[in-house]
Amino acid sequence: MTEDDIMKCDTADPLATHRRHFELPADTIYLNGNSLGPLSTASKQRVREVVESQWGNDLISSWNKHKWIDLPVTVGEKIAPLIGAAPGQVLCCDSVSVNLFKLLSAALTGRRSERTVILSQRDNFPSDLYIAEGLITLLREHGISAELRLVAAENLEESIAQSADVLLLTHVNFRTGRVHDMQRLTALAHDHDLQVIWDLSHSAGVMALALDDCEVDFAVGCGYKFLNGGPGAPAFLYVASRLQAKLQNPLQGWMGHRHPFAFELEYAPDVGINQLQTGTPCILSMSALDAALSCFEGLTAIQLREKSLALSAMFMSLLEGDPTYESLTLVSPRESKQRGAQLSFSHNDAFPISQALIEAGVIVDFRAPNLIRLGFSPLFLSFGEVARSAAILKQILLEGRFRQERFSVRAKVT
């Protein structure tokens, strides 16, 4: 691919103008939006407004005057179109882990099997499995026979056909970027009387999702990756409208109460999705996410998906056939439809290579034990940047620069 070809891609890019929404450092190519999205001007201005004007001047009256109290539902409704959900089914609150605990518990309520079984993938995101393990332990301590059953991805379909209660899966594998067929697996689970919970943390904002059309039961996702809500941004959850009437939230906090400011002694859950609120919403972080979502206005999920795949395809094409890259092993699927908005490569020196890239201005991340992971966020990345990042990687490998001792020193966060 020539420089002219790359320039033509950027010229023809319908999303190119959206780069202006983000405040990225100069001389930095950010291929880590899959871990933490960059700062948007809208978020910066909103947080300043909330701190200085709303909190600073209007104090507690801001809950009503600036509708802080409505933010969990308001932000949820903005996320809904990005995941293919009709209104009234998405709520922004808490973290992925807390939301997952709530939904797993709700999904298991009323199940009458002799042994409660949560089925998941062996290489699912570990934190999701920790939550499931914790719930299983809690059930066992209360005398309920329970099991977290983990199987390889290739054995999921046959395992669904066996006895289980809930299927817990991450749509895009955080290590490899491989995508599950949401529609097929959800339908298969329903055929065998399983409810399904999908983790959309690596999907929302870059994938064309259709939760309603796929008849998904429950879903969770985070706000700080491709949605660009900022570090520690609140997560979101989805509950299909058909399930909300019989829902039971195990964390009965006051914000999920039908009349929270009546301070009634007995808990009465709110109707609809709002019953899954628990504690007081985090207004600063939720306001940042609310503003960041404005960057998606006027775009479709299909446009986002098409560009992210085009960016990753260009990167791959620039690597293939070059002997410099032979030491890297692609662990993501080559077929574009089978992967999310990331590419992962294995290498024995993955950590020092990632650190050398970062020092050279190409921000990637490392995942133990030996993966270099690159995220291709369509809102702010250009084709020219992707081409330059491939060239920088080539130079680092060719020179062996990553072998310098400082690149092997690990900080607390890798």
Q: Per-residue pLDDT averaged across 373-395, rounded? A: 97
Residue 321: predicted pLDDT: 80
Secondary structure letter of residue 180 according to DSSP: P
Given a cut of 80, whether residue 271 has pLDDT beyond it is yes
How confident is the model at residue 253, as a pLDDT?
A: 95
Segment 213-217 mean pLDDT:
98
Give the pLDDT confidence of 314-339 residue by residue, as tens digits: 999 999 888 888 899 999 999 999 99
CA angle, 199 as apex, 172 and 138 as ends, to 5°?
135
Strand order, beta sheet including 342-346: 329-330, 342-346, 371-375, 365-367
In the residue annotation, 267 being an active-site residue is answered as no
Verify whether residue 225 is a known catalytic residue: yes
* Mean per-residue pLDDT, 17-36: 96
In whole angstroms, what is the distance from residue 376 CA to residue 386 CA? Answer: 9
pLDDT at 75: 98
- Is pLDDT above 70 for 390? yes
pLDDT mean over 11-31? 96
Domains and CATH numbers, the chain: 3-30+300-408 (3.90.1150.10), 47-296 (3.40.640.10)
DSSP class of residue 313 equals H
**pLDDT class for 25, splitting at 50, 70, 90?**
very high
Q: What is the pLDDT of residue 320?
A: 86
3-state secondary structure of 66: coil
Note the pLDDT tens digit of each residue in 42-83: 999 999 999 999 999 999 999 999 999 999 999 999 999 999
Confidence check: pLDDT of 114 > 90: no
pLDDT, position 112: 67
User: Is position 30 annotated as part of the catalytic site?
Assistant: no
- Identify which has the larger pLDDT, 214 or 109: 214
pLDDT on residue 163: 81
Beta-strand ranges (E) seen in 331-384 are: 342-346, 362-363, 365-367, 371-375
Q: For residue range 228-262, list pLDDT tens digits in order.
A: 999 999 999 999 999 999 999 999 999 999 999 99
Point out the catalytic residue in the list 30, 101, 125, 296: 125
Question: Residue 402: CB partners within 8 Å, gap ≥ 6?
Answer: 349, 352, 353, 355, 356, 396
Q: Do 178 and 171 form a contact (C-beta atoms < 8 A)?
A: no
* CA atoms 75, 37, 199, 149: torsion sign: negative
Residue 11 amino acid letter: T
Q: What integer pLDDT is reported at residue 414 of this predicted model?
A: 86
State the pLDDT at residue 10.
96
Mean pLDDT along residues 146-150: 96
Catalytic residue (choose from 174, 351, 373, 376) = 373
Active-site choice (178, 225, 305, 367): 225
- Distance, in Å, from the CA atom of 101 to the CA atom of 365, rounded to the nearest integer, reads 28
With H, G, I as helix, E, B as strand and everything else as coil, classify residue 80: helix
* 4 Cβ neighbours under 8 A, 6+ residues apart: none
Active site residue 199: yes
First to last CA, the chain: 33
Largest Cα–Cα distance in the chain? 70
Residue 129 confidence (pLDDT): 98
**Which amino acid, 309?**
L
Given the residues 128, 199, 217, 349, select the one marked as catalytic: 199
Mean local confidence (pLDDT), 285-295: 98
Measured CA to CA, the distance from residue 96 to residue 106 in angstroms comes to 15
Q: How confident is the model at residue 109 (pLDDT cuts 50, 70, 90)?
A: confident
